[in-house]
Chains A and B, each alone.
Chain A
Amino acid sequence: MAYSDKVIDHYENPRNVGSLDKSDANVGTGLVGAPACGDVMRLQIRVTDDGVIEDARFKTYGCGSAIASSSLVTEWVKGRTVDEALTIKNNDIAQHLALPPVKIHCSVLAEDAIRAAIEDYKRKKGLG
């Protein structure tokens, strides 16, 4: 199966790989997995007191599409408010990366990851 240029670009030059301090009150951590393919994804956001996502990091063990999906999401959420970030849908990710149907679940995983990170952040802040 051929990967799109955008997937290859994110795979070869992943943006924002790494971690944020998960004990920081302003950091939300999302951990999701897809037993179907054995992929695991950690996505973290650091939010300013105004509710703007100022930094995002990810670590993904999985295929190229899963890595590209999470890399793209970290780029997209930076500078957005948490509520804006919640509007990111897996379709947007899949479309942007031109994912084939068999790889749509990778974009679903990335959407789940950002949601989980925001939920974790809100829980910490008592907003959940």
Chain B
Amino acid sequence: MKKHLNHPIITAALLGNPNVGKSTIFNILTGAKQYVGNYPGVTVDKTIGIRCYKNYDIHFVDLPGIYSLSSCSEDAKITSRFLLYDNVDIIINVMDASNLERNFYLFTQIIELNKNIIIILNMLDILKSQHKTININKMSALLGTYVFPVIATNRIKNKDNINIILDYILDIYKKNSRDKKYVMPVQVDYGEDIIGEIGKVSQLLIQSNISNKISKNWLMINLLENNPSAIKLINLSNNKIEILKQIERSRNHIIEHFNTKIEVEIANRRYGFARAIVKMIVNKKKIKTIDYNEIIDNYVLNRYLCIPIFLCIMYIIFKFTFFFSTPVVNLFVVFFKFVSFKISTAIASSILKSFIIDGIIGGLGGVLSFFPILLFMFFAIAFFEDLGYMARASFIMDKLLSRFGLTGKSFLPLMIATNGCAGPGIIATRILESKRERILTMLIVPFMICGAKFPVCMFVIRVIFAHKYQSIVMFLLYIFSILIALTVSKILSSMISQEHSSHFIMELPPYHLPKFRGLLLKMWERSWIYIRKAWTIVIFTSIFVWSMSTLTYHNKNVLDIPKKILNPLFTPIGLDGNKAISLLTGIIAKEIVISTLNLTNCKDNIYLHDNTNREWDPLQGITFLIFFLTYIPCITSILIFCKEVGKKKYKWLIGILFGNTILAWSLSFIVFNIGTVLSRYIYIGK
């Protein structure tokens, strides 16, 4: 990203409720490719995009969506911390035009921060379909801020709009707004009693030594609301005891007066304000429309139909991937074979030949030939995601997951791990409120079949099973991984003490018909990680393993030494030294398993994964898969895990390292021994 040292920097924060299209607008404004989705947990950290405009550097900051500044989940805390302590010049409040009341509730809180505000009104197309219109001039006059109507998904019209918005941001920065009336934003009327109490607190605050950076208005109201982050600020001041006493007194006063808590009364006032403004600006034509969302939801979320439909959708995703990707994969395999054949005839020296064919093509080709499968799978998942099914799926899974000590919300991190990588899945656990659930979900996220594990499973399945069973086996493997994750969470939840009962409240987004371009973008973004990994980590390790396998020490292969050590550990579960070594290298990144298997197993020079038949007997393959799915997660996810856990990370780290290996070993031991007994009577495989 370009950065100019001389240019003055403007910081603009994008803020709004979840699922109003902040990230989409962020992408339009900065030209970045931030991941976009219509369920909570997609944006859980602040991301900065820089845009150069007329010799100014505008830093746009995309923040996680919140309903109010006093929320308690981790991603909401990130947002409120950023707004309070960092230098934000302009707040861009993104609003969903089809649901204004709740958006105005957040707006009433932003006003109190005493910062420049712009409103971007998104989703006007949905508003039109509801036969409503908004008087935008009236709205900007009432709120005292400038309002930009926008349809974020419509790309062609946006180009002119962006320049207008950017111009306006510069104008605000230079402190010469076009119209004087847009400078002063409105204030919410809290009523005489609350304003009286605020006055009492403010007198004390003026005497104290709190920095001027933080808006006094926000501080006073949040102190009365008992907001923990506000009270933390007060603890630094010199007259904190007096202030705390005064707050206690005023809270009691309000309870006596209104017979409710002050939080409820303040929220009531804020919503009253929001309702009044909505009534003034929104014109509704009285035409009865059929709400398709409700009709679809009646079937999708039906008591009896919900789980069959869920399983059906999962199965459709698999069928789609397998049906379209197998010919492409075969093409890739043939291509790599052809290349290695050409090279083997062209190059004379045997070491160089072996290096290129075994080390590079064997390693990289094995990984890359499975790339099309990922493309098709991510495409299929992105389709259902854009449709709006993810939030519903978490709603369906809520009852099931609550039996295992989780809530429906923890389904979303699991899903993010399934259609991408375990790392983002672990980060996405920030949407969970209670600490206990977060740790539980973080521990079970690595069990899911992520994009890196998927090719390895495919590699083994293609060897063992006939073509027509492959998709079913893959489907069963997914269910197996989910079952393992759930049992682990059940065991762990009995070990971790229960703080308080978990709660699950989530907004269901309306259904959208996905756009083809968006789907392709999503697909490409997610799978691009794997190509990048293949060029860096995979190629490096495969060259390393190749050099180890060619080196000799005292007339012995160097790789024989770790094989000898690992053999007694892995013979009880039916795996030989080669597979043990490949599993060991798989800790660096899971795709490497394929490349190492190709390397260590190779006896012919031209050798790729579809003639590995004699190396694998079906039972061995199954135990290998079970071990592979449950053992230690890859290094990146372990590092992210340590970062996210915070306190006691070494305890959890040891737990994850030993616990997973013991679990994997014992499971595959059981399966292998039962399998050997059974295999006398039945034969599975090709």
| Mutual binders A and B | no
User: Interface residues, chain A, CB within 8 Å of chain B?
Assistant: none
User: Interface residues, chain B, CB within 8 Å of chain A?
Assistant: none
